[in-house]
Structures are given as structure tokens and as C-alpha cells.
Homo-oligomer: A and B are copies of this chain.
Amino acid sequence: MTTLSEADHTPPRCKPQHFSSECPSRVLIDQIADKWSMMVLAVLDSGPLRFNVIKKQLEGVTQKALTQCLRRLERNGLVSRQVIADAPVAVQYEITPLGRTLQPPFRALYAWTIAKMPEVELARQAFDERRGR
């Protein structure tokens, strides 16, 4: 991956303006670009939650999809998983310190979404009209 602004850093093993498939940042984009990850992290931001509580807050997510998402977040060190051996079993998911560092960038992205959504909606309508739906 290249820079968004040249001064920011030195991209490891990446030529300027070329997104090689081995570029480390590509790996992370694949994670961030997941359908549910951002929402899971947002939900966990207020504190640890149990599986079904998370599930209830993400309308449309299936158990399978949420499990996969949580596993990947756990694997990447963004979320921790703790089994509480009661009967019936409880499992707590908690955002890690590393996961918390994602909060500022995500917050910026979220603010953008809220601020620009109306403009995007207008652009869509214009586009769809331009090409007879």
C-alpha cells in the first residue's frame, strides 16, 4: 500500500503508489473491511459483553457470521475471549488495549459517515436517474 500523504511514514516493502499484495497494510485492510468488525468493536467499546448480547445488537448477523468475526478479531488481538465456567456456560468478549487504539480512527470514520450521508444519498439519486434506474 502507498501513502495517502507522502510525509506520513515509510511504507515497508512497498513502492510509492503501488498496492502490492504482499504489502502488510493490505492484510489489515482485509480485516477492517469486514462487514461486522467495526460494529462489534463499537458495541464492545462500552464494556465487555456476552455473545448473545452482542448478537442482539447487530441486526441481521447470524450466529455463524458473528462467531467467525469474533474469532478473527480475537486472532488479531483486538478482542479477548473469556469463558466463565458456570452452567450454562457464559462467554465474555472484551476489547483489548490494542483494539482500543482503533477507536480514534474509527470515530473519525464514523463522524464522516454521519456528516456526509445526505450528500452521498443525493449523489446516488443523481446517478440512478442518469441511467434510468
Contacts and interface: CB of A to CB of B under 8 A. Distances in A.
- Secondary structure of the A contact surface, majority rule: helix
Given A120-B28, A120-B77, A124-B76, A101 B107 contact: no
Nearest to A75: B127
Contact of A107 (B4, B76, B102): B4
Contacts of A46: 17
B108 A104 contact: yes
Interface string A90-120: 0000000010011111111111111011011
B35 A30 contact: yes
A9 B74 contact: no
Given A29-B38, A42-B4, A123-B76, A112 B116 contact: no
Contacts of A124: 75-77
Contact of A103 (B4, B19, B117): B4
Copies of this chain per assembly? 2
A120 B24 CA distance: 10
Interface residues of A, number: 65
Contacts of A45: 4-5
Given A34-B33, A57-B19, A105 B116 contact: no
Contact of A19 (B18, B20, B39, B113): B39
